[in-house]
Amino acid sequence: MTTTAPETVTSSELLSVVASRELASRRTVFAGIGLPTLATELAHLTVAPQIEVVYESGVCGAHPSHLPETIADAVIVSGAEAVLSMPALFGCVLQGGHIDVGFLGAAQIDRWGNLNTSVIGDWESPEVRLPGSGGAVEVMANSREVFVVMRRHNPRSFTAALDFCTTPGPDRALADGIRPLGAGVTRVITELGILARSGVGEELRLVAVHPGVTVDRVREATGWDLQVDGSVGTVPPPTAAELRLLREDVDPGRVYLR
């Protein structure tokens, strides 16, 4: 496989390519807008041609002619297999256990895979106010597993204590007496590497780093005492073929690539 020099690859491209590879063998994906959409569309052209994409607006089996700019973009509907009402989407598709992977983004994540997409700072007077949950709580609770893409890997984003818990993982839900269907977050793809866990009762651990990134650097960028896999691998860099597809076929208009 032909590779491309790391300095020619942007952070968005790196995250999208690596995340897309994680979708190999998965069938149904509940994709958030942004990097999850990029990764899912690239996976459809590479490792998962059978993939079925579900969007929060009720569209199932989406086949957009170009990338949607928002969850309500009409292009999502064009060519879709079905468009469902919100009760049908959340009550039947999600709660019915039909989603293999929920693909989300977040501003903060902790060692158990709980997510914050609400505020940075104090709730009453936050430094930054974020979009909030949307359907992420239902996606977390009902998908068989959840992948998260994080643009930043630093102690503020990978924190020991979330500023606000928007989307509780199964460990936190169980502590409150709620039994989720899925395993919660099992993969986190970042600019430094990949963190993973199998499910309830496990912390996220470092399983792979990008070329040139050391384990110590990842530990320093993480706000808790990060567990490290016994055999940390190196993520293969994006290939020329993957980058060409991403730039020319998936997002030629640079809707999300930057």
Is 36 a residue whose pLDDT tops 80? Answer: yes
Task: Output DSSP code: residue 102.
Answer: E
**Judging by beta carbons within 10 Å of its beta carbon (0-12, 13-18, 19+), is residue 199 exposed, middle or buried?**
middle
**Do residues 180 and 141 lie in contact, with contact meaning Cβ atoms separated by under 8 Å?**
yes
Give percent above pLDDT 90 in the chain.
77
Query: Which one of 13, 22, 52, 56 is the catalytic residue?
Result: 56
Residue 25 confidence (pLDDT):
87
Q: In this predicted model, what pLDDT tens digit does every residue of 173-213 receive, in sequence order? A: 888 888 778 999 999 999 999 999 998 899 999 999 999 99
Residue range 227-240, pLDDT digits in tens: 999 999 999 999 99
Please give the Cα distance from 163 to 169 (Å, whole number). Answer: 15
Measured between alpha carbons, how far is residue 186 from residues 6, 82, 195, 202, 205 in Å?
26, 28, 8, 10, 10
Q: Quick check: 29 pLDDT over 60?
A: yes
> Does pLDDT of 143 surpass 60?
yes
Instruction: Specify which residues 149 forms β-bridges with.
Output: 105, 189
Please give the pLDDT value at position 1.
47
pTM of the model: 0.92
User: In this predicted model, what pLDDT tens digit does every residue of 50-89 receive, in sequence order?
Assistant: 999 999 999 999 888 888 888 888 888 988 999 999 999 9
Q: Does residue 140 carry a pLDDT above 90?
A: yes
pLDDT in tens, 215-229: 999 999 999 999 999
| 129-142 burial: b if 16+ Cβ within 10 Å, else e | ebeeebbbebbbbb
Annotated catalytic, 56? yes
| Average pLDDT value over all residues in the chain | 92
Using the predicted structure, report yes or no on whether residue 7 has a pLDDT greater than 80.
Answer: no
Do the beta carbons of residue 209 and residue 218 sit within 8 Å?
Answer: yes
Residue 67's CB is within 10 A of a number of other CB atoms, namely: 21
Q: What is the pLDDT of residue 212?
A: 95
Q: What is the pLDDT of residue 173?
A: 85
Q: What token pair was written down for 132?
A: 């909030």
Q: Is the pLDDT of residue 4 over 60?
A: no
